[in-house]
Structure 1
Amino acid sequence: MTRVQADIAPAIKDWLATEIADAQVRLSVPDKWKPADGALLIVADDGGPTLWPIKSQHTIRLTAYAAGRTEARAIVSLAAGLLGDGRPSGVASINSEMGSVLDARDSNTGAMLASVLLTAHARTVETEA
């Protein structure tokens, strides 16, 4: 057996999908998606340091895409708050210090987006080499 860093983005996505009704929660923006298709919440892992072989630290980026600024900010703020209060399976902890919400317009889709960064910790996991 070999220890490897846990991939926690799918677990966070699945957990948030059960908690958020106003957006489709995914790991990436679908091809040809447009704001009229409904709001999206994207979960991404921007990496971080690892204390080998014990745990890894992950900068989780939550980004909501929606037709309007208010909707995008509400979705991403709710997601960050839920993660601050709860724990998806496989996530050991989430730092209480989070980034503030940043909003902008997505040049590819025309959607308004709002994004927040938070830090999550996970134990390494065993896998067969």
Structure 2
Amino acid sequence: MKAVTIRRVYDGLSPDDGVRVLVDRVWPRGLTKEAVYLDEWIKHIAPSTPLRRWYGHQPERFVEFRRRYLIELQDVQSQVTIERLRKLASTTPITLPDCQQGHRTQSGSSPHRPSARQWPADRR
């Protein structure tokens, strides 16, 4: 399995990025589509708008947020997309650009990124 990397979208390209897949329902502020250099933008496997609003960047809600997000990922369309990304990650590096400028988890990423990074390993 190749690497799945999480990088800030605002930091630009890296030679090690491989395939760049934005997993977010909103476009990164202040950037044009040309400036982001994406291979794909997948909105439907990002946390839902109601879930993001409930979370409200409150770190004490992270464990419950993650639990609810993993439940959201159980629908057929999400599972098909995750399986496609898992297969892609077995042959090439994948970078998940992180659009969040504000709150970060303890690992330094957006709240749903740790879950997304684990797709290749724990979603079977």
Identify the structure with the greater strand proportion. Answer: 1
TM-score by length of 2: 0.30
Q: Which has the higher contact order (CA 8 A, sep 6+)?
A: 2
TM-score by length of 1: 0.30
